[in-house]
Structure 1
């Protein structure tokens, strides 16, 4: 057995385990609510405004979880395993327990678990890939949310025919199956393959430090626009599609299409050359999502929703990957704090989206205005990322002159 072959297998095991972890924590734990919401509305368990509150509570949990990551000192594998088991239990609880207050507590806790699992599985997986010489497999890790989202979309309608309770319980049982498949891969041997120590880098100049601090502030602020810009569609897509296309089966297909689009987007994003500027990549990804959101308003047909779902889904986790890459560019191996702040900003955007959209849509009977505002936020983020990049080019030109 060659060392290279062993490393390749170890890299694929780590990547696939993290992919499954993110499928459970993000695709199921966070986004199962999207296909379940129309069913719960139909059953009379919720109205649209209450659904928006439950969605925002989940994103509040995500925010709290992201903010707490920097202060947690437990092993990454312990956090991942605990987060996965808790996610499955919380999904089962949505089907077994009843009442808005209980559901609010469950959705908030699910948000915390998804943030913890995402941050610690990402960190563990990216480290393993670096140690085994396969950083390009990072894209495999970030296909996980898309696979989970596609599963919730494809299974949600079928399982939901027996009612939302059966749907939630089905998702909880599916989570337990996936957890069992990868449980042993998340072992305590975190230091089994120690990465070689890099030579200490030269200390940055005062100008470089000031520019890095400015870029870090912009990254945190603009990452929040991505959270706000996509979340209205990601929370209410089946409801929006049912309003535009009543009496057809098309609305049940757009959410899994969004999830499936995440997979090639993550793989392509991970292949983007490291010398490409992350801010330009983020600007392009934001612009694609803005166009996807606009299409659901400007072209509310089956084709328009399908194209919109593809354009919204493809950059979904690629945005996260580019943002993490930019944090590492700015802070190197000490990027965890910046990643935590950026993730928290993203969480704030997610919290605000449903709270803004649901009451307005319930009052007007349409999601058009909230969606256009969301598209505007993404468009502004794209323009500002390009502006920050141009400013840094000018600053470098001056400093090199």
Structure 2
């Protein structure tokens, strides 16, 4: 955690004018002389490009596996246990990629564009990979999912940092929430076709190939936004608080640890939702629509998050989001009906990327334009929580025959996280007035 206090070493790309990692812009220039209409147009272009970038890296690179898992089970490619390990491999990659983001140096747009290309190729590989030996096939698939996780994490951190900073330069930081509609958009764009593919008995390989083509199309649409046609050094920015360094370090560590709780809390449902719903609702077509509904909830939640005033304390907002997700996780257990699962998807999805937005906004509150190292740690520990979920779920399913126990553990974990965020918020409220104001 020493990176929290070593801002210079973690963010040399923004402080060294000769470094190759100066913020690259497209045909957009951050000129204060730009008319307001032009700045709005540029800001929307950045926000929408960030949305589609995360749709590729997260919605396809990470989460396309979820709607395709029932098809892979049907094709006999995996069973529930090996499917869980494939999911875990992706989350391990996500964790590794987040750690890499703490130390990576270079032009952010280079990593974003390279990650988009890698996502296309890795998704394509999932559809083309074949081996006569089952063990060899599993090793190859696990390698692909691990690399996909690394790529998703790197793109997420660099795209988030670049887009949020660019929007701040264009004086429209409130559009940052739109970026985090991306995972929901990607989930929707993969979930709806997947339900159609199931109905028409497509193979899982065909699904992977279709999603690779979709990733290529979306990547092409944002490519120019991340092209290096001009570059400027990031403007100097001071931290938006009056906290002492030791207070910043303590709050950063607390934020990272409690944020990681959320990674474990949601991931079992997000990984096995179609499987869980099919077990509870056999011979029903509704389970195929639950995953797209989850994506709709994510996108709506991200948009609603942009309407929340910036003065609201991020930790209080995170506590509320964790409670919502805990309720969403338990809905399928308490009410294993179409309505129960649908409401659970909405409650789980609405705060999904809002949680990310509030956490990244809190990182920028603490470190301003030097927050990328903290963003990397946040993403890494969140990924660590995700690694634990799938193998725990498959282990408990083997012991009990249902997902009830693992989902209950996940919900309780989220409630504990909510309580901890609430305590962090309450402690800030007891500080002297100047520090209390600085915390917002």
Query: Could you say which residue in structure 2 is the equivalent of 1:45?
Result: 77
- Does structure 1 residue 101 correspond to structure 2 residue 177? no
Alignment of 1:310-321 (within 5 A): 310-321=346-357
Tell me the CA shift for residue 150 of structure 1: 1.0
- Does structure 1 residue 126 correspond to structure 2 residue 144? no
Query: Could you say which residue in structure 2 is the equivalent of 1:3?
Result: 35
Tell me the CA shift for residue 359 of structure 1: 2.1
Query: Could you say which residue in structure 1 is the equivalent of 2:11?
Result: none
Contact residue 323 and residue 414 of structure 2 kept, 8 A: yes
More off after superposition, 171-180 vs 360-369: 360-369
- Does structure 1 residue 223 correspond to structure 2 residue 259? yes
Query: Could you say which residue in structure 2 is the equivalent of 1:169?
Result: 209
SS in 1 for 2:431: helix
User: How many angstroms apart in 2 are the aligned matches of 1:21 and 1:398?
Assistant: 39
User: How many angstroms apart in 2 are the aligned matches of 1:202 and 1:252?
Assistant: 45
Query: Could you say which residue in structure 2 is the equivalent of 1:264?
Result: 300
User: How many angstroms apart in 1 are the aligned matches of 2:346 and 2:92?
Assistant: 27
Question: Where do 5+ consecutive residues of structure 1 fail to align?
Answer: none
- Does structure 1 residue 62 correspond to structure 2 residue 94? yes
More helix by share: 1
Contact residue 27 and residue 146 of structure 1 kept, 8 A: yes
Tell me the CA shift for residue 195 of structure 1: 6.0
Tell me the CA shift for residue 101 of structure 1: 0.7
Contact residue 97 and residue 153 of structure 2 kept, 8 A: yes
Tell me the CA shift for residue 392 of structure 1: 2.1
- Does structure 1 residue 146 correspond to structure 2 residue 184? yes
Contact residue 259 and residue 378 of structure 2 kept, 8 A: yes
User: How many angstroms apart in 1 are the aligned matches of 2:214 and 2:302?
Assistant: 23
Quickly say closer, same or farther: Cα 1:397–1:125, change in 2 above 3 A: closer
User: How many angstroms apart in 2 are the aligned matches of 1:328 and 1:209?
Assistant: 15
Q: Deviations over 1:63-92 (max 9, x none)?
A: 000000121112111111110011011111
User: How many angstroms apart in 2 are the aligned matches of 1:223 and 1:236?
Assistant: 22
Alignment of 1:157-236 (within 5 A): 157-160=195-198, 161-189=201-229, 191=231, 197-198=236-237, 204=242, 208-236=244-272
Q: TM-score, structure 2 length as denominator?
A: 0.86
User: How many angstroms apart in 2 are the aligned matches of 1:197 and 1:327?
Assistant: 17
User: How many angstroms apart in 1 are the aligned matches of 2:381 and 2:404?
Assistant: 25
Contact residue 49 and residue 222 of structure 2 kept, 8 A: yes
User: How many angstroms apart in 2 are the aligned matches of 1:156 and 1:252?
Assistant: 8
Tell me the CA shift for residue 396 of structure 1: 2.9
User: How many angstroms apart in 1 are the aligned matches of 2:298 and 2:111?
Assistant: 25
Match of 1:32 among 64, 74, 82: 64
Query: Could you say which residue in structure 1 is the equivalent of 2:153?
Result: 115
Q: Deviations over 1:7-53 (max 9, x none)?
A: 11111111111111100000001000001111111121111111111
User: How many angstroms apart in 2 are the aligned matches of 1:60 and 1:289?
Assistant: 23
Query: Could you say which residue in structure 1 is the equivalent of 2:9?
Result: none
- Does structure 1 residue 297 correspond to structure 2 residue 337? no
Contact residue 59 and residue 182 of structure 2 kept, 8 A: yes
User: How many angstroms apart in 1 are the aligned matches of 2:184 and 2:204?
Assistant: 22
Quickly say closer, same or farther: Cα 1:308–1:61, change in 2 above 3 A: same
Match of 1:361 among 379, 397, 404: 397
SS in 1 for 2:231: coil
Contact residue 157 and residue 372 of structure 2 kept, 8 A: no
Match of 2:342 among 291, 303, 306: 306
**Please, what is the CA RMSD of the aligned residues?**
1.9
Q: Deviations over 1:98-136 (max 9, x none)?
A: 211110000000000100111111111112211222111
Q: TM-score, structure 1 length as denominator?
A: 0.95
Tell me the CA shift for residue 214 of structure 1: 2.0
User: How many angstroms apart in 1 are the aligned matches of 2:230 and 2:223?
Assistant: 14
SS in 2 for 1:395: coil
Tell me the CA shift for residue 181 of structure 1: 1.3
